[in-house]
Each structure stands twice: as structure tokens, then as C-alpha cells.
Amino acid sequence: MIAVLALAVGFLYAMGTYLVLQRKLTQIVIGLAIMGHGANLVLLMAGGRAGRPPFSGAGSGFADPLPQALALTAIVITFGVAAFLLAMSYRSWLLRHDDEVEDDLEDRRIARRAGGSVEGE
Amino acid sequence: MRVLVPLPIALPLLAAGLSMALHRRTQAQRALGLVVLSVNLAATVALLVRVDGDGPIAVHVGGWQAPVGITLVADLFAAVMLVVSAAMVLAVLVYSIGSPRTADHALFFHPLYLILAAGVSASFLAGDLFNLFVAFEVMLSASYVLITLGGTRDQIRSGMTYVVISLVASTLFVTAVGLIYAATGTVNMADLAGKVGDLPGPVRSALGLLLLVVFGIKAAIFPLFFWLPDSYPTAPTPVTAIFAGLLTKVGVYAIVRTQTLLFPSDEGGSVLLLVVATATMVVGVLGAIAQDDVKRILSFHIVSQIGYMIMGLGLFTVAGIAGAIFYIVHHIVVKTTLFLVGGLVENATGTGALRRLGGLLHRAPLIAVLFLVPALSLAGLPPFSGFVAKLALVQAGMDAERYVVVGASLVVSLLTLFSMTKIWAGVFWGTPDEEPPLLSARGAGHLAAPRLMVAPTAALVVISLLVAIGAAPLYDLSRQAADALVERTPYIQEVLGP
């Protein structure tokens, strides 16, 4: 199981990173959410091998609860911030009717110096 | 007296809830904020006195003992940072109440501002890595909303960069916490201090580097600084000022804390930090020289100044770390003041663009004086606080025989002075190329500034002068704090028990 989980973590990070590097806001938001899932899986795996009971009365035979508590906290935080990001990209769409991330000020300046045309001006 | 430790977190958080309930009653919200943040300042001062006398204090919240429970630790470094940040938060609140066209009137400014204050305090007090993550998130969530409070197109554009880059850093932080827990079985920093040393070298380096990247993004060190100069200037002045003064310094604080407590004094780390510090100083100041807007120049200077703090840490000597702590204190005060003055200029003229400003020396001499003192201090001219801070760092660097980074820091000081004179010449001397509408509408007379905006700015200028006058005792305090950071045992014993 642990190998499957490790592969899943790698896959989630790869997919998240790819999406964050795109220019569409929705893709970035989804990418961040997927990367967050990867991070939560890492936390869960830090608790030890999979397959142990969540709690039991007898001795040390149960799964480590601390990483699960950490993962739970992290999930709640990611959820809240993702909601804010979505609200922000909606606002951006209302203002510009476009889903692309704009060039920042320095990029525009460099483009202007190079004599190219600047998008959105 | 242990109750003092959680107060700087609990007070603003509770007040934030109350302030939310008072929404639309702006006067009540203002009064509440002022009272609570004043009490907060008093509490942090009491805590500093206490810690200075008796050594670090740890509190196990909820009664669960370390390393499992939530631990808050106030050592000397944390206590100094708490006092400075509490003073800044209070001064900027007064400023924002006084300024006529700002976020103060936005519906949720006050609750968010209090949450931000609580988050900053929590970051300083956190005794384990995961709580540090939670504290960062509390602080950042508030900052996400504050930076986009107006909802204008510019704010959304630059706010997006800020939120996305912070989120990437947070994800990496969670990953680092998970990996550290997998490697050592604990996230409590005092416990980790003992266990990280037992890890194999490569694993330790990997974890150290990952944490450095995470905090490096928050602290805006080279090459992770690119988001800062673009996102800070678009926010309302009080917000920018408090971000500039405190948020990046929380990142620096976390770097200092983790590098001294968890990964002390290995040669490779020291060289890496010094290289990063040099690059941060140089790139930041070069960026500042290329700009032509007051707030953007100042934003690039934040980056440049972070380099000095990292330089002090990178020396890994008591003198170096003491210099870094002194520098952080000086920088928080001076940088916040400069942004507040930038806000005064914008409030009087309606713009911060250098080519549209000029001749304010005669029309607003008070603003000119308020700018001149912190500007010269930032550049490190005697007799101001920046001179003492830089002297401490340069001496520590010479003692450690790191001549390249010392040389770079001196050149960067000169370039800082150059770009400060650029603001001075652009804003206070000469005549503008094209007069801004607000300025010509006001005629040629004297420019007035609201008293409640000038008073906190002037108070901060006085504090920065006091930092210079009281340099000897303050440096002694920094030195003791650095001693405690390097020695580690009192901190660890206080948390884990003897």
C-alpha cells in the first residue's frame, strides 16, 4: 500500500505543479488544490504504515493520530483559502471578462522597452 | 505570570470576533481596536521584562505536555519581536483611523486587522512547526483579504500573485512538516533540536533547505522575492505599511529560529546563507534604483534590507545574530515609517509617481522632515539607528573574516542612499513635469495633513531616534537574545522540562 500511496503523492505533486504553471486562473486554482491533496497525503503517510486500526484499547497497535489531526487542520485551511481564491478569480472575471493571469508591471515595461506591443493597454 | 504568554494571540483574536459583531458601527470598532492593541502592547512589554529577568517561558496550551501538545514559547528574541510588532500595529491603526480615504471605511477592515495582529504574535510564539504553519495561515488569510480590500483591477491582479505564491509556500510548508515528522516522529521544535542532529547528513540538509525555501518565500530573499515589489504597493497605505514592516520579518524570524535551533552552525549552510544574503542585498537595491514611484522604490528596498538580516544570521556567530536582531528591530520601525510618509505624500497630492511630484519641501516641510530622518536611517548614516545596526553587522562580518559580504553590504548602503536622494529630489525638490490634478486643485499654498496621520508617523520617527540613542542597552538585549539562540539549552529545557 505504501508504494501506491507514494506514487499517488508524486503524481498529485506533478499534476499540481503543471497546472499552477498555466496561465488560466481556474487551472491555477485547481492545481493548488491538487497539490494540497498531495501534501495532506504526505502528512498521513508520516504516521507510519497503512492498514492499522484508527484506535484500539490494546497497546501500541493503532495508527498514529497526530498526523491525522495535522492533516485535518491542513485540509480545513486549504479549503478556506481555495474558496477565497475562487471568489477572487470570479471578481477578476467580472472586471476583465478574461480568465488569464495578467502580465505584471515589470514584464510590461520590459516588453515596452523591447518595442513589442503590450497586451491589455 | 504565564498568562502573559498567550495574551498577544488571544486578545486580538477575541477582539476580532467582537469587532465583527460591531460591524457598521465604525466608531465602536475603532475604539475597540485602540483599547485592545494598547493593552496588547502593555502585555508584551510586561512579557519582555519578565523574560529578560527569568529566561524563556513556555506554556502548554490545554494542559497537554510537550512534545505532543500545543506549546507557546516566549524567549528573549520572541519577546523583543512581540513588543516591536505590537507598537507598530498600534501606530498604524491610529494612522488608518486618521486617513480620510482608506480601507478604514471598508466593512471588515478592523476585524481583519486584529486577526493579522494575532497571527503575527502567534508566529513569534509558536513552539512547534505545525503551529507555526497555522499561525502563518491565520496571518496570511487576513493579509489576502486586506491586500485586495478595494477589489480594484490592479489589486486583484497583484493580489492574485501574492495569494498564489503564498499558497505554494504553504503547501511546501505542510510537505516539510510531514517529512520532518516521518523522519523524527515529532514536530515540537525543542524536541526536534535534539533529534535532527541524529539524522543522516543528506536528510538533514534536505529538510533544512526545504524549510529555508518555505520561509525564504515569505521573507522575500533572493531568488524568491519577485512577488513582493509587485503586490505590496497596490494595497491601501496602512495595509502596505504593516505588511512591509511585519510580514516579511515574520519570515526572517522563522528562518533565524529554525536555522539556529534545528540546524545550528554547519559550514555549508553558512556559506549558502551568505551568498543568498549578498544576492538579495544587491538585486533589491538595483531594482529600487530602476523604479520611479515612491511605494515601489520602498518595496524593492524591503528586499534589499532582508539581505542584511540574513547576512547577520549567515555569519553564525553571536555577534552576527545580535546584529541581525538589532537590524530587524531598526528595520521594522524605519520601514513602517517610510511607508506611512509615502502615504502622507499620496494623501496630500493624490499620487506617488516621482515625475508628477516636486517642491513639497516648501509646501509641506513637516512631511519632508518626517521622510528625511527614516530615509537617512535606512541608508545607514550616523547618528541614526541604521548606522548602529549596520556597524554591528559589519563588525561581526569583519570578525568572522567574511570580507566579500561586508564589502557588498557597504556598497549597497551607498546605493540605498542614492535611491533615497532620488525620492528626496523627486518629491521634495524641484518642480513636477506634469502636476497631478489634486495638487493643482489645492493652489500654491501650504499642504495640510490630517493630524491623526501625522501623529503616529512622528511617534515612529521618535521611536527610531530612541533606537539610535538607546543603542547600547538595546544592543546588549540583542546580544543576550543571540546568546540564548546560540546556546539553545535554556529554551529546550523550559519546553521539555529538565
- Amino acid (one-letter) located at A107: D
Q: Is the pLDDT of residue B471 over 80?
A: yes
Q: Is the pLDDT of residue A120 over 50?
A: no
The per-residue pLDDT for range B484-496, each reduced to its tens digit, is: 998 888 899 888 8
Q: Residue B435 — very low, low, confident or very high, per pLDDT cuts 50/70/90?
A: low
Cβ contact, residue pair B160, A74, below 8 Å? no
What pairs with residue B128 in β-bridges? Answer: B188
- Cα–Cα distance measured from residue B282 to residue B264, given in angstroms and rounded to the nearest whole number: 26
Q: Residue B474 — very low, low, confident or very high, per pLDDT cuts 50/70/90?
A: very high
Per-residue pLDDT at B101: 63
Nearest Cα residue to B13 out of B112, B84, B109: B112
Selecting from A28, A46, A84 the residue whose C-beta is nearest the C-beta of B144 gives: A84
Nearest Cα residue to B412 out of B222, B284, B221: B284
Say which residue, B236 or B249, is predicted with more confidence.
Answer: B249
CB pairs under 8 A between A and B: 94
Per-residue pLDDT at A59: 58
Mean pLDDT value across residues B218-229: 88
Average pLDDT score over chain B: 88
Average pLDDT score over chain A: 82
The per-residue pLDDT for range B112-125, each reduced to its tens digit, is: 999 999 999 999 99
B358 — alpha (psi -120 to 50), left (phi > 0) or beta? Answer: left
Per-residue pLDDT at B236: 84
Q: Give the ipTM of the model, two decimals please.
A: 0.88
Q: Is the pLDDT of residue B202 over 80?
A: yes
Q: Residue A50 — very low, low, confident or very high, per pLDDT cuts 50/70/90?
A: low
Q: Say if residues B419 and B288 touch (Cβ distance below 8 Å).
A: yes
Share of chain B above pLDDT 90, in %: 49
Selecting from A20, A43, A73 the residue whose C-beta is nearest the C-beta of B178 gives: A43
The per-residue pLDDT for range B123-153, each reduced to its tens digit, is: 999 988 999 999 999 999 999 999 888 778 8
Q: Residue B160 — very low, low, confident or very high, per pLDDT cuts 50/70/90?
A: confident
Per-residue pLDDT at A121: 41
- Cα–Cα distance measured from residue B220 to residue B224, given in angstroms and rounded to the nearest whole number: 6
Q: Is the pLDDT of residue A98 over 60?
A: yes
- Cα–Cα distance measured from residue B397 to residue B400, given in angstroms and rounded to the nearest whole number: 5
Q: Which of A21, A41, A66 to mutate to test binding with chain B, by most B CBs within 10 Å of its CB?
A: A66
Q: Which of B248-252, B304-308, B419-423 has the lowest mean pLDDT?
A: B419-423
Q: Residue B104 — very low, low, confident or very high, per pLDDT cuts 50/70/90?
A: low
The per-residue pLDDT for range B386-420, each reduced to its tens digit, is: 899 999 999 999 998 889 999 999 999 999 999 88
- Cα–Cα distance measured from residue A105 to residue B231, given in angstroms and rounded to the nearest whole number: 10
Q: Which of B65, B147, B171 to mutate to test binding with chain A, by most A CBs within 10 Å of its CB?
A: B171
The per-residue pLDDT for range B27-81, each reduced to its tens digit, is: 888 899 999 999 999 999 999 999 998 889 999 888 888 778 889 999 999 999 9
Cβ contact, residue pair A74, B174, below 8 Å? yes
- Establish if B45 touches chain A: CB-CB under 8 angstroms: no
Which residues lie closer than 8 Å to A47 by C-beta, 6 or more apart? A63, A64, A65, A66, A67, A68, B181
- Cα–Cα distance measured from residue B422 to residue B426, given in angstroms and rounded to the nearest whole number: 6
H helices of B55-128, where?
76-98, 109-125
Share of chain B above pLDDT 70, in %: 95
State which of B90-104, B165-179, B182-196, B267-281 shows the largest mean pLDDT.
B165-179
Q: Which of A12, A92, A108 to mutate to test binding with chain B, by most B CBs within 10 Å of its CB?
A: A92
Say which residue, A111 or B218, is predicted with more confidence.
Answer: B218
Q: Is the pLDDT of residue B361 over 60?
A: yes
